[in-house]
Structure 1
Amino acid sequence: MRGEPQKRISPKALKVWRLHGVLQTLVLAVLVTGTVVLATIFDWPVWIMAAAIGVLLLFAYLMIYFLPSVRWKRWRYEVREQEIELQRGLLIVKRTLVPMVRVQHVDTVQGPILKRYNLSTITISTAATVHEIPALETGEADELRHSISLLARVAEDDV
């Protein structure tokens, strides 16, 4: 059995995922603020305010620091002549092999936040599903998209 895939996604993925965590935390902070205001107006027990603030702090820690770090450490990929291997997961590590003969097309996707950090996500489409390799440097993503499309054509010619 082969070891885990060797290639990692860009370290800038941490910044992108942490920024997403900040945005999600801000949405929750608005809800917590509303809860604290209502608790003050209607004289609810103090533990409700404390619990809401505690949930906000825990959520912020998980979404801004912990989960992006673990996600980045676990995310690996490798493109071989016959297959693409993906490894990801937080508590449960999932490894996927995508045979080149199954690849139908390959795209790069770049939203505004990824563009800001010069990153792109590769999407690999098969008949059954779409697989992603997130947060690669844009130049690397373009090269990888091109090499996967060439390998997929060669694999189709072999069938």
Structure 2
Amino acid sequence: MREPPMNTIAPDAIKAWKLTGVFYEGLLWLITIAVAIIIYLFDWPYWIGIVLVMISILSTIFTVFILPKLRFRKWRYELFEQEIYIQHGILIMSRTLVPMIRVQHVDTKQGPFLKKYQLASVTISTAATTHEIPALREEDASALRDRISALARVDEDDV
């Protein structure tokens, strides 16, 4: 079996993912509160509201405090001249090799939460699918995008 990739994503990814988790969990809490109000107004059984609040609490703890650290520890990537090796997953570990000859284009993208921490993600598109290396420092993401682009062009010239 091949050794795991060496490169990690930026440590600030944990902060960005926590902030994203807070945003989505805030939406979940708004829904929970709305349902609790409906339960109160229509005199439905209170245990439904209690179950929803417990689910929301557990979801918030997992999404904001546990999941970002686990994701950070498991994300790895490495760039070789002939391929890109990406490893990620928590319960199911996914190891992907993307041949340079299959790369059609490479992008960087940055949402508002990544932008706050000067992070960007690199997306690698092939004919079949798109692969992403999330939450790299902006400079590293740009350098990686340019390096992959250059290696993909060299492989096309060799064909």
TM-score range, shorter chain: over 0.9
Aligned-partner residue type, residue 45 of structure 1:
P
Gaps of 5+ in 1: none
Q: Distance in 1 between matches of 2:109 and 2:46?
A: 46
Match of 1:57? 57
**1:96 correspondence with 2:96:** yes
Query: TM-score, normalised on structure 1?
Result: 0.95
**1:110 correspondence with 2:110:** yes
Alignment of 1:3-152 (within 5 A): 3-152=3-152
Structure 1 residue 68: Cα displacement = 1.4
Q: Distance in 1 between matches of 2:112 and 2:26?
A: 19
Secondary structure class of the residue paired with 2:2: coil
Structure 1 residue 2: Cα displacement = 2.0
Q: Distance in 2 between matches of 1:118 and 1:81?
A: 27
Q: Distance in 2 between matches of 1:52 and 1:19?
A: 22
Aligned residue pair count? 159
Displaced runs of 4+ in structure 1, greater than 6 A? Answer: none
Secondary structure class of the residue paired with 1:97: strand
Secondary structure class of the residue paired with 1:10: coil
Structure 1 residue 44: Cα displacement = 2.3
Query: TM-score, normalised on structure 2?
Result: 0.95
Q: For residues 69-99 of structure 1, give each alpha carbon's deviation from its aligned partner in whole angstroms, at most 9, with x where no partner exists.
A: 1111111100011100001112101010000
Q: For residues 105-147 of structure 1, give each alpha carbon's deviation from its aligned partner in whole angstroms, at most 9, with x where no partner exists.
A: 1111112221111001101111111111110000011111111
Secondary structure class of the residue paired with 2:44: coil
Secondary structure class of the residue paired with 2:43: coil
Gaps of 5+ in 2: none
Identity of aligned residues (%): 50
Secondary structure class of the residue paired with 1:87: strand
Q: Distance in 2 between matches of 1:108 and 1:31?
A: 33
Structure 1 residue 41: Cα displacement = 2.1
Q: Distance in 1 between matches of 2:38 and 2:130?
A: 44
Secondary structure class of the residue paired with 2:95: strand
